[in-house]
Amino acid sequence: MIFTLVIGLTLALFLGMLAQKLKLSPLVGYLVAGMVAACPVWGEEVDAHIVEDFSHIGVLLLLFGVGLQFHFKDLLEVRKVVVPGALVTMPAVALLGMLVFHYLGMGETAWYNSLMYGLCICISSTVVLTRVLSDNRVLQTPAGHTALGWLVMEDLFTIVLLVLLPALFSGKALAPALGMMALKLVLLILFVLFLARKLIRKILTSLARSTSGELFTLAVLVCALGIAVISAYVFDASMEFGAFISGMVVGQSRFASRAASDALPMRDAFAVLFFVSVGMGFRPMGLVEHWPLAIGTLGVCMLGKPLVALLMVLLTRRPLRLGILVGGSLSQIGEFSFILATMIAGQYKLLPTEAANVITGVAILSITLNAALYRFVPMLADILEQRGYGQNAPLNNVPEAEESRDRVLLVGYGPCGQLVARVLRRYDVDVVIIEMNIDTVNRLMNNGIPAIHGDATKRTILHLAGCEKARAIAITSAGAPAAEIAAAALSLNPAIRISAHTHYIRHAQGMIEAGASSVFSGEAEVALAMSSHMLRIFGATEEQIMRESQDNRKELFDRAAAEVAHAKTSKK
């Protein structure tokens, strides 16, 4: 057993690192590691059954993590797009997959078998999507929030499907089986929410006060796997559903952050074994043998699903750019497709093992291609916008700049932006908001506040906001690409003063080099505020505090600039 685990994890480590170096998802490396581990070159046989047993723990912890991080508020923020979008896109993609399998599959098959195949390929990978969006700096944008909300809906669909499968294919009459299943699920939910919840809180509270960190970690692991086992052996529900419910219970408690930091590394370690086990069962020649099905499935994943998603985003009256970015991020399948395919083909025998093998191969291809090609998706959106496609009516109510009033452009309207705007308006400054959140822009416009919806790195957006006649631009969002915004603004108005917000001091020098007149670092401002507060406690005068703050601010930013310069010199 030890030999098998060492071989699997070691290969996963090095091939995962190699995939990351090639700017691919580490999942590709884990799957290839499984394929290499299955080769008979190790002198001793690698036991795939051991890896599969351990990988099931990874699946349970994966679903525990989904429940731990699931919050209805994440769904509510983008509900107008993702709820109708996902509810239409998943059945549409499942239908396309069903048709592909029925006509390009493995001979005559029943329609419900084809439907099972379609259901396996209609779910994108949360792990891959998050990584791709993060690598392309899209994760903290409206497109990133929408894509993640979309994945929440798909995850919920997967949970429901995992619950329904035992009832649908248990061999019993459907209506009584579904009724009994519903009753047992209600009892399970009540048990977890009312009894187990109180017990879990008491245990975690007691252990949180102790000095033993490993006991708290062990308690989180017992919560995840214990409730999963209880759901299977007491309530006849799937272990996966039990793990998801236990994750939701812990996630709604005040221990959510610590549980995530303790449990998610274990989840990742065991989930790696799941991908390794899938790779060990993958046969590349099976993909070649059924190449028409593989090409058709890849087409559904990488063309069919993005196009349906794009259409649904446009039908909800959102910009073309948002639809392109969201659709492009969904053009892959991953972990839940493996889980469903393995369960449907292995446990319920509703698909041939060759079909599950094709799904694995297509997943590897789609993950690889998605990671490699997504960098061109924003470029496609830019080209279409430059040619006049997808540019709806200028979503702004910005008047012409007045000679008698100073104009300031404000990028971002979060808490920081709202405070700055309120202060400036008190002094009769003409403030124009540039915001990527369409709902915020609509609200501002309805209140008569000048606002424009768009990307502040685009010269056309800055022009519509009156950049040429503006005195200053304030980039209040720390996640905004300040250097690009500064370059675009200076190209339109070389005299404009630029103020930028960043989380870290070390990023300030780069913003100043890009043209920012002043940079405000959250890291520095907190340090200065705390030091000023401590000086007040010990009776320092306001003049002394102000002098100390000025000296400390200069020292902090000079030190950061020196570190950046040293890093650049070292690289050379």
Q: Which helix (H) or strand (E) holds 396?
A: none
Pairwise pLDDT comparison (409 vs 216), residue with the higher score: 409
Helix (H) or strand (E) holding 468, with range, is none
Q: Which two three-digit tokens encode residue 495?
A: 């005299």
Positions of CATH 3.40.50.720 in the chain? 407-571
Would you say residue 113 has pLDDT above 80?
yes
More confident residue, 349 or 493: 493
**Gyration radius from the chain CA atoms:** 27
Between 209 and 172, name the one with better pLDDT.
Answer: 209
Q: Which residues contact 82 (CB under 8 A, 6 or more apart)?
A: 75, 146, 149, 150, 152, 153
Average pLDDT over residues 176-190: 75
Residue identified by tokens 């799957």 is 31
- Token duo for residue 267: 């989840």
* Rounded CA separation 216/309 (Å): 42
**pLDDT tens for each residue of 37-64:** 888 777 676 766 676 667 677 777 777 7
User: Which two three-digit tokens encode residue 261?
Assistant: 């930091």
Could you give the residue ranges of the DSSP H alpha helices within 397-458? 415-426, 438-446
Quote the pLDDT of residue 169.
Answer: 66
Task: Pick the range with the lowest mean pLDDT from 49-58, 185-194, 403-412.
Answer: 49-58
Give 407-571's CATH code, choosing from 3.40.50.720, 1.10.287.1260, 3.90.420.10, 1.10.1740.10: 3.40.50.720
Q: How many residues does the chain have?
A: 572
Q: Give one DSSP letter per residue of 334-392, joined into a string.
A: -HHHHHHHHIIIIIS--S-HHHHHHHHHHHHHHHHHHHHHGGGHHHHHHHHHHTTTT--
CA nearest neighbour of 113 among 291, 348, 357: 348
- Span(s) in the chain for CATH 1.20.1530.20: 2-383
Q: What is the DSSP letter of 325?
A: H
Q: How far apart are the first and last CA of the chain?
A: 47
Per-residue pLDDT, averaged over 198-220, amounts to: 76
DSSP summary character for residue 85: H
Query: How much is the pTM?
Result: 0.63
pLDDT at 522: 77
Residue 328: which of 479, 481, 124, 127 has the closest Cα? 124
In the structure encoding, which two tokens stand for residue 541, read together?
């005068």
Which residues touch 94 (CB under 8 Å, ≥6 apart)?
A: 115, 118, 119, 121, 122
Q: Which pLDDT value is given to residue 330?
A: 92
pLDDT of residue 393: 43
pLDDT value of position 91: 93
- 299 pLDDT band (50/70/90 cuts)? very high
Across 536-552, b (16+ Cβ under 10 Å) vs e yields: eeeeeeeeebeeeeeee
Compute the average pLDDT of residues 356-366: 87
Q: Which residue has the tokens 């290969």?
A: 11
Residue 332: name the closest of 95, 164, 147 by CA: 147
Q: Are residues 136 and 69 in contact, defined by beta-carbon separation less than 8 angstroms?
A: no
**What is the architecture, at CATH level 2, of domain 2-383?**
Up-down Bundle (1.20)
Both structure tokens of 169 = 């294919």
Q: Is 84 exposed, middle or buried (0-12, 13-18, 19+ CB in 10 A)?
A: middle
Residue 320: pLDDT band (50, 70, 90) is: confident
Instruction: At 498, list the tokens.
Output: 């630029």
pLDDT value of residue 99: 92
The average confidence (pLDDT) of the chain is 80
User: Which of 400, 468, 477, 487 lies closest to 436, judged by CA?
Assistant: 477
Q: What is the pLDDT of residue 296?
A: 93
Residue 475 phi/psi, 5-degree rounding, is -95, 95
* pLDDT tens profile 502-551: 877 777 777 777 778 888 887 778 888 888 888 888 888 888 888 888 88
Confidence of residue 484 (pLDDT cuts 50, 70, 90): confident
